A and B are shown apart, each in its own frame.
Chain A
Amino acid sequence: MSAESGALADIDERLREFGWYTVSKKEFRDAIRSRGLWLLSLIFATAFIAPVAIALYTDFAAGGGITAQALQEQGMQLLLRGIYLNMVTLLLPIVAIFVGYAAISKERTSGSLKILLSLPHSRRDVIVGKVLGRCAVLGVPLIIALSLTAVFITASNITFKPELFGLFSLFTVMFALVFVAITVSISGVFEKSSWSGVANFIVYSYMTFLWNAGANGIGSALQDYLGVTGALRWHTVILLKLVNPNQAYKTLVDSLLSSGETPVLSARLGMFGRGANQEVICTGVLNGVWGNETVQVLGGQTAQIPACVESNGVPFVYSDPAVFVFMTVWVGIAAALSYYTFSLADL
C-alpha cells in the first residue's frame, strides 16, 4: 500500500468517529451507482461547459480592436451573468431535486431505513449524513464542471479572473448545498417518494417564479390594509425577498459581477422592478444618495436622469455577508423541518 492510501485510510478512520460520516459514505457509494445520476451529471456538465466551449471554438473576442479588448476584459462577467446565473438558478435546483427527493422517502418505502436506524446512528446523524452524502453526489460533478469551465475560459481569449470565478463557484456550490438540504428534508416528511417529488417541485416553482411576486404583494397589502408606507414597507419587502435562497444567490452574484462603483447598492436595487419606489429604497432602505445621473443618449448627447448615485454604505443586514447568511440559513430551516417531521415521527 502506498503512503497516500495509508494517509487516506487514516483520515477515514478519524472521520468514522462522527456518526454522520459512515452514513454519508454509504449514501455516496449507493448514489453513484445510479445510472440516472450519471446521466444527469453528464447533461449538467455539458450544459456548463457548452457556452465556454462555443466561445473557444468560435474564437470569441479575438483580435486587438477596442471592442475585442472590451469583450476580453468583460467577457467572463458577461458569460456568468448572461448564461451561468440563469442556468444555475433554474437548472441547479432541479438537479438537486433529482439527487435528493427520494433520499429518505425511498428508504422508508423499501424498508432499508429500518436497517439504517437499527444500527447505532441517531436520526440526526441519518439526516446530516444524507444531506452531506447527497451534497457530495451533486457537488463533485458541479466542481468538476466549474473547473472545466475555468480551464476553457483560460484557453479562450476571455480574461480569466480567478478571484471572481472562485467566489462565483463558492456561491454556486453553497446554493446547491442549500437546495439539497431543503430537498432531503422534504423527503423526510413524506412516506412516498412521489409525494416528495411533487412537494419539492412546488417548493422549487414557488421559490423560483412566485416568491418575489408574493413579497411585493405583501408589501402592497401592508400599505393598503395596514397603512404601512415608506421605508418600513420596503424594508419588509427586501427582507422577504432576501430570505428566498434563489434571490439571495442572484443578488450576491449580481454584486460580485457588477462593474459599477456601488456594486452592492446597485445589486440590491436591482431586486426591485418598476413598481417599486426607487427613491425611498435608495435613501430610506439602502442608505444611498438620490440624485441625477448623467447618461449618454443617442447622438452623443447627454441627459440627466434621477437615480441612486452614491452609497453611504449599505446597512449590514443587506450587505453581501448578510445575504450569504440569509442563503445558508436555509440549511438550518431544513434541519428544523427534519427534526420535527422525521426525528419525532413514528416510522
Chain B
Amino acid sequence: MTAIELDGLRKEFDDVVALDGVDLTVDDGEVFGFLGPNGAGKSTTINILLDFVRPTAGTATVLGHDVREESEAIRERIGVLPEGYGVYERLTGRQHMKFVIESKDADDDPEELLERVGVADAIDRRAGGYSKGMKQRLVLAMALVDQPDLLILDEPTTGLDPNGARKMRELIREENERGATIFFSSHILSQVDAVCDTVGILQDGKLIAKDSVEGLREAQGEMNLVVTVGDAANLDGTLDAVRGLAEVSSVAHSGDRITVSCDSGAKMDVLNAFEDDGVAVDDFETEEASLEDLFSSYTEREDVEV
C-alpha cells in the first residue's frame, strides 16, 4: 500500500508556478525526506496533502483517500507538524493536548506524550509563554496523538537546537519502528540524512531526484580520500600513477596531504598505488559526499540546463 501518491500535481499562485507536475509515491512504512531549497514547493505540496491549498491540476491521495474529497478521513489518521503553525496563546499545554485528543476521539494521556517530547514540566502553563522550541515540541506531541499511520512534518528540525534535532530524529525512528510512515521536509540536509530511507529532491516545483540515500550516493559515486604521506618530496611520479587510475577523477596536493576524488569503491586501489610506488601512507580518511553536496550538484546541474 502507498502512503502518499502524487500524480501530475500542479499549483499556480497568480502568475507563479509553485508546483510543475510532480509525480511521487511514498510507500507504507518509509521514512521519506522531502528535500529542497526554500521556495522549491515543499510546503505547497504538504499544504495540498492537508487540503489547505487546492491543486490547479493533478491529483493527490493520502492513505488511499483523495485529498480533496476525503480530507477529514485522512486527517483522522495522520499527525501533522504544519509549516507556520501557531499555538493558542491562552490555553495550556494540557488543554492543547485535550483538544487534539477529543478532536481525534482518542484516549491518549496528555502527560505521557508531553513527557516523550520533553515539555511535561510545562504542561499546566499557558502555551503563550513557551519558547519557540517548546511550542515546536508541543505541536509535535499533538501530532503523535492516537498513533497516526502517517506523520507529516514540515521542517521539523528548524528552530531546534542540536540536542532538540537529535531528539527529533530519535522520535522519528521510534514512530517508524512502531509502524508509522514519516514524510518530512527539510532544507537542512545534514540534520536528516541519517534518518531517511528515501529522499526526494524538489527544485523549482519539479521533483528532480528520488532514491534511497545510499542509491543517491552511489549515483553520485564520488568520495574524497585524504591521504597523509610520510615523505612529501618527489611525489610527482606517484601522483601521476594515481591520476592514471580509471576510478580517479582528480588529485590535489598540499604539503603532505593529498586529496583524491574517486569512486566510492576505489579506496584500496588508490592506497595500493601509493604503496606500490614506495610511498608510505601515514594516515587516510574518507569524506563521503554529504547530501548537501549531492543536493548542490543536482541543483547546479539543473541550473546549467536552464
Binding site for B on A (CB under 8 A): 16, 19, 22, 25-26, 29-30, 33-34, 107, 110-112, 114-115, 117-122, 344, 346-347
Contacts and interface: CB of A to CB of B under 8 A. Distances in A.
17 contacts: A26-B88, A26-B91, A29-B95, A30-B91, A33-B90, A112-B88, A114-B82, A114-B85, A115-B85, A115-B87, A115-B139, A117-B50, A119-B75, A119-B103, A120-B72, A120-B75, A121-B75
Contacts of A29: 91, 95
Nearest to A117: B52
Contacts of B300: none
A121 B52 CA distance: 12
Contacts of A111: 82, 84-86
B86 A121 contact: no
A344 B51 CA distance: 10
B67 to A, nearest CB: 13
Nearest to B76: A120
B86 A16 contact: no
Contact of B54 (A26, A117, A346): A346
B254 to A, nearest CB: 50
Contact of B104 (A25, A33, A115, A119): A119
Given A26-B95, A30-B91, A114-B86, 8 more contacts: A112-B88, A114-B82, A118-B50, A118-B78, A120-B75, A122-B72, A346-B47, A347-B53
Residue of A22, A25, A115, A346 contacting most chain B CB atoms (<10 Å): A115
B177 to A, nearest CB: 24
B251 to A, nearest CB: 52
A121 B76 CA distance: 9
Contacts of A120: 72-73, 75-76, 103-104
A19 B102 CA distance: 10
Contact of B84 (A16, A30, A34, A114): A114
Interface of B: 13, 47, 50-54, 71-73, 75-76, 78, 80, 82-91, 95, 99-100, 102-105, 139, 142
Given A112-B88, A115-B85, A347 B52 contact: yes
A205 B39 CA distance: 43
Contacts of B71: 122
A309 to B, nearest CB: 59
A193 to B, nearest CB: 13
A259 B298 CA distance: 85
Residue of A19, A29, A120, A121 contacting most chain B CB atoms (<10 Å): A120
Given A118-B50, A347-B47, A22 B102 contact: yes
A126 to B, nearest CB: 11
B123 to A, nearest CB: 16
B100 A119 contact: yes
A346 B54 CA distance: 6
Contact of A346 (B53, B82, B91, B142): B53
